[in-house]
A and B are shown apart, each in its own frame.
Chain A
Amino acid sequence: MPSFFTPDFGLLFWMLLAFLVVFVLLAKFGFPVIVKMVDERKAYIDGSLKSAREANEKLAHIKVESEKILKEAREQQAQILKEAMATRDQIVKDARIKAQIEAQKMLEDAKAQIQHEKDNALLEIKGQVADLSLTIAEKVLLKQLDDAPAQSKMIDRMLDELVTK
């Protein structure tokens, strides 16, 4: 029987010793360290992936939010522009109307002034004409009524006129 078939006591003894040594040392300081580290790394990677996913979700959320805000801002801008335009138009329109009114008023004032001036002028002219005509009439009368009958005749006619009137 070859010796490798018959379990030898010596080899069994040494195997027990050697295996116990390697098992105790590796079970205490070897494998658990490696396995623990790998498990920890796995947990860390899982955690990192989870937080990355959350961050991505947050980012997507933020993006949507920002787009919403941008859209709102754009709408608001358009609104403001529209309002500004309307206000401008209104102001221009108002200004125009006001200017028109002002112009109208000025025109009317000018007209009134002119009328007034004209009336005054007419009045003055009238006075002057009256004065002139009086003077002329006086001169004419003085010339025509240098005799008494003519004077009486004249007075009679004038009296008649007043009575009939």
Chain B
Amino acid sequence: MKLRQIIGFIMLLLSPLLAQPMVAESGEAQGGVNVKEVVMGHLSDAYEWHITTWGNTHVTLPLPVIVKGEESGWHVFSSARFHDSPDGVYEGFHLGADGKIYEQTPDGDVRPWDISVTKNVVQLWIVVLLMLVIFLGCARWYRGRQASDDAPKGFVGLIEMFVMMVHDDVIKSNIGEKHYRPYAPYLLTVFFFIFLSNILGLVPIFPGGANLTGNLAITMFLALCTFLAVNLFGNREYWKDIFWPEVPLWLKCPVPLMPLIEFIGVLTKPFSLMVRLFANVMAGHSIVLSLTCIIFVTMQIGPAIGGTMTGISVLITIFMDAVELLVAFIQAYVFTMLSAVFIGLAHQESHSPQKEINN
């Protein structure tokens, strides 16, 4: 109940901010709006954080570039250097057509080792910082308090309720009472990381707005973590089910058909986790941005249709943002729940009928 109210409140807060991206695009709209470019630009990572464009001035936050050249070693410089130099080349590096940094070498352009602090990396650290502040702050609240004291109220109470909801309903019930304990911190971290990233991704201005969980690198890492958590600590029963499942002998003996299918299943589980989260968030961002672009496309046709479509676009965008808030929660929930289910499957009790009879 409380959570629903909070989400509703956040939604209300966000709705006026939706107008912000429209302002950002209006500068580029003069020569015709390239919707694809706008959407792709917002979804992609960048070496600078574009906040808004006012007239012809771009308000951007330049971010540090950290690259290692083939022979020249490590370079650390601000991404604003690319704009300062006339040909866009700085210390032998320049931005390629795909928006990534390339090094000019005699063999042509090559991708250097690139650990630049990009927009997504900054967003990543904002999320991490926010999580640390929220949860360590809550944990601090408990210091010096006994179990017999009053339960927390307000924000700490909300966080406690949220954490316990995930802990009890998602983690404990899906992994099982016996084995859930060591995995709970990991799954809670994953849940709140995804949830906060999703929510911040919906905020159109500076502290949020990067497409973090809609980036394949992030979801790949998270899925890999779950893959490791499932397979490193899977018990005998789990591996037996993969390589010697309870099926008729001819399905597994000369040609290991079922083991092969089961083994593919081991790989597809984290793969589906990766793609599901990535696709949902990416699609959500694309839809919201495209709907916003309707305003600028229709404004070129005429003020009357543009005005009408602006109203419709704002309404639909607000609706979509509300849906995206739901999706932000659901995707975090689904990722955590499925991870918990997979971990639970790797810890299942023996279910072979012979053993049951023996028992």
Question: CB within 8 Å of B: which residues of A?
Answer: 1-16, 18-19, 21-23, 25-27, 29-35, 37-38, 40-41, 43-44
Contact = CB atoms under 8 A, between A and B. Distances in A.
Given A22-B128, A27-B186, A29-B139, A10 B163 contact: no
Contacts of A14: 115, 117, 121, 124-125
Nearest to A12: B217
Given A8-B100, A34-B139, 19 more contacts: A1-B98, A3-B100, A5-B216, A6-B216, A11-B118, A11-B121, A14-B115, A14-B121, A14-B125, A18-B125, A19-B221, A19-B225, A23-B185, A23-B186, A27-B185, A27-B186, A31-B185, A33-B139, A34-B160
Given A5-B216, A11-B45, A33-B142, A26 B136 contact: yes
Given A26-B131, A38-B160, A7 B220 contact: yes
A162 B45 CA distance: 183
B318 to A, nearest CB: 25
B114 interface: yes
B334 interface: no
- Interface of A: prevailing SS: helix
A59 to B, nearest CB: 22
A15 B124 contact: yes
A43 B167 CA distance: 17
B148 A44 contact: yes
Contacts, number: 133
Interface string B95-133: 000111000000000000111111011001101100110
A4 B215 contact: yes
Contacts of A38: 160, 164
22 contacts: A3-B45, A3-B99, A4-B216, A8-B45, A9-B115, A11-B45, A11-B121, A11-B218, A12-B217, A13-B115, A18-B125, A19-B189, A19-B221, A21-B128, A22-B128, A26-B189, A29-B139, A30-B136, A30-B138, A31-B185, A34-B164, A35-B164
A23 B228 CA distance: 15
A41 B164 CA distance: 12
Contacts of A29: 136, 139
**Interface of chain B, helix or strand or loop or mixed?**
helix
Given A12-B217, A27-B185, A43-B147, A18 B43 contact: no
A40 to B, nearest CB: 4
B221 A12 contact: yes
Select the residue from B99, B127, B159, B221 with max chain A CB neighbours within 10 A: B221
Interface of B: 40, 43-45, 66, 98-100, 113-118, 120-121, 124-125, 127-128, 131-132, 135-136, 138-139, 142, 145, 147-148, 151, 159-160, 163-164, 167, 184-186, 188-189, 193, 211, 214-218, 220-222, 225, 282
Contacts of B214: 4
Given A34-B139, A34-B163, A7 B217 contact: yes
A9 B221 contact: no
A1 B40 CA distance: 10
B164 A15 contact: no
Contacts of A37: 142, 145, 147, 160
Given A15-B218, A34-B139, A26 B44 contact: no
A32 B185 contact: yes
Contacts of B216: 4-7
Nearest to A7: B217
Nearest to B282: A4
Give 6 nearest A-B pairs by CB, closest first: A27-B185, A40-B147, A30-B135, A7-B217, A33-B139, A44-B147
A38 to B, nearest CB: 5
Nearest to B135: A30
A30 B118 CA distance: 28
B273 to A, nearest CB: 15
A8 B217 CA distance: 6
Contacts of A35: 163-164, 167, 184
